[in-house]
Amino acid sequence: MNDFSELVDFSSRFINSNSSFGIRISQSSALSLPYLSARTCLAAGISLPMDTAGGAVEAGKVSKMYNALENGTVEEQEEIEGELLRVRKIPFIKGGGKSIDRRIRQLLLPQKSAATGYVSVSPLTAIGLSALLFGPSGLVSKHNDSLNHPDALRIRRAHLAFGGANPHNLGYFSARWMMQYPILLSAPDCEEGMPERRNPSKRGRYLILPNLRVQCANILTNQILVNGPPISAAWGMGHALEREMGRRIEGVCLVMHYVEPLGEREYGAFEPSQKRGAAFTFEKSRNGSDYTKGTINLSLQPGVCAHMRVSVVYELSRDLTSLPRAVEAFLATGRFAGGLITSYGKPDLHDDRDTLLECLPVGRVIVDRRDLMASGNPLENLVNAIGYRHKQEWLSATNIGYSAITDFGLRGGARDGHLHAFAEPLIGIVEYVNTLDRAQSYFWHDRWLDDSFLLEGGQD
C-alpha cells in the first residue's frame, strides 16, 4: 500500500454498507478520561490499528500493508511504521463531512452554549477497538483461550453478520472476522421480583416510574458491546418527559429487573433475531439505494433487541405536591431505548432519598464505577471488569456519554438545523447493585466537559 493518507479509525459502512464516510483522529485529540474510547486509548499510549472506509479493493490494499508489517523485511516494516506514525498526526475525513447521509442516525443532546439549546451527534465506534479486543491476539481472544485464573469467566459473544456474505466490502478487519463478534454482557434474568417494601409519600422531588415493560428495546450498546445497561436511554427518556411536563429533571436512577435478548444461541455465540420493515428501506434517492448492487439483500447492518422490565426514578429540580398529568399521557405512548412501553406501574412521588429504593420492586440499581477505569490500559480494564468473578460485585459496561471526533458545525441534513458533530461512545464500567442493599451514588447527572457529553454517578 503506497498511500496511507486515507486510512481511518471510524467507518459509516458498519451502519450501512452503501455509505462510505470515514474519519481518522489525530494524536492531538487524545482524551484523558476514565472511559474506553479511541481517544482515551491514544491518551494511554495505545497504537490503534486503522482501516479503510472504501470497498473491497481498498480493503485488499490494507491487507497487503498489514501482511508486509507482519511478514515483510525489516526495511519494509520500518517504512510502514513510520508512515502510520506520520498519518496519526493528521486528522482526516473521507467523504467531505459537509452533509450527513440520512442513513446515519443522529442524537440530540442539550447544550446551553448552543444557539438552539441543542447539538446533534452521530455515534460511530472505532474499528481499532474491535481489532485490539477480538483479533487473534486480542485481549478478549487471549482471555477466553486461557481461563487459567480460578475466578476467570468466559466472555460471551454475540454474532452480528456485518457485511453479510461479503465482509471484505466493509474493510480489512471485517474480512478477517474481527468486527462480527461483539461482547454479550450478562444482565438480570429474574422476571418477577419481590414487590415494593414501602409506599411512596405521594409528594416530593423524586418521580417514580415503576415496572416499565418494554418490547423490542435496542440493546446494541455500541459496535463492541451488546446488552449494556441502558442508562443513556433512561436519561434520554427523562429529557423527553421534562419537555412534556415542564419540570426540570436533574438526575436519573435506573433499576433493572429483567432482560430477555431476542435470538438464539448457536455454536457458542448468541444469534440475535433480525427485523426488517419498509420503514428502514427506500428506493433510489440522492443517497442511492438501500439494496446492495444487483441483489435483493439489504445494505442495512444488523441490530439487537430485547424485551425488558425496568424501573426509573427521576430527581426533579423542586418538590411537587401532586403528579403532573403529562406523566401518564407520556407513558401511554412512550418509548424506552427505542422499544415500545407496553405496560407500567402507577407513577408516584417520594420525598426521602434514604428510603427511595424501598418504594421500587426489588431489582438491580445501576451504579457508576468509573474508579475502575481511573488509570492503566482502558482495554485491559474492561476485560478485567467483565472477565472475572468479583466478590459481591456484578460489573458490566455501557455507554455513559459521547465524545466528538469532528468539530461541531453546520452540516446539511443535521436535525432541525442544530450544530452537528460525529462522535464516539464513551464506554464506562458500571455495577449492578441489589436494591435490598443500601446502595450509594445511584443517581446519574449529565454535564459537558469541553467537547464530551458525560453521564456521571454522583454522591448521595
pLDDT single digits (tens) 29-71: 999 999 999 999 999 999 999 999 988 899 999 999 999 999 9
For the entire predicted model, the pTM comes to 0.92
Greatest alpha-carbon span in the chain: 76
Residue 21 contacts residue 364 (beta carbons within 8 Å): no
Q: How much is the average pLDDT of 82-87?
A: 95
Model pLDDT, residue 189? 74
320-332: average pLDDT: 93
pLDDT bucket at 291, cuts 50 / 70 / 90: low
pLDDT of 398 > 70? The answer is yes
In the numeric block, the cell 427511595 is attached to 356
Average pLDDT over residues 426-450: 91
Contact 1, 52 (CB under 8 A): no
Burial (CB < 10 A; 0-12, 13-18, 19+), residue 186, is middle
Contact 106, 100 (CB under 8 A): yes
The answer to whether residue 131 scores a pLDDT higher than 80 is yes
Least confident range of 55-69, 316-330, 371-385, 429-443: 429-443
Higher-scoring residue by pLDDT: 190, 175: 175
| 104 band by pLDDT with thresholds 50, 70 and 90 | confident
Mean predicted confidence (pLDDT) in 112-127:
94
| pLDDT score, position 293 | 56
Whether residue 341 has pLDDT greater than 60:
yes
Rounded CA-CA distance 441/457 in Å is 6
CA distance 235 to 241: 10
Which range, 96-100, 113-117, 266-270, is most confident? 113-117
Mean pLDDT computed over 343-371? 94
Once rounded to an integer, what is the mean pLDDT over residues 163-171?
A: 85
> 293 or 85: which carries more pLDDT confidence?
85
Query: Would strands 263-266 and 249-261 be described as parallel, antiparallel, or unpaired?
Result: unpaired
Region at 169 (left for phi over 0; alpha for psi -120 to 50; beta for the rest): alpha
User: 383, 143 in Cβ contact below 8 A?
Assistant: yes
Judging by DSSP bridges, how do beta strands 118-123 and 419-434 pair with one another? parallel
Cell representation of residue 261 = 435478548
Instruction: Look up residue 393 and give its DSSP letter.
Output: B
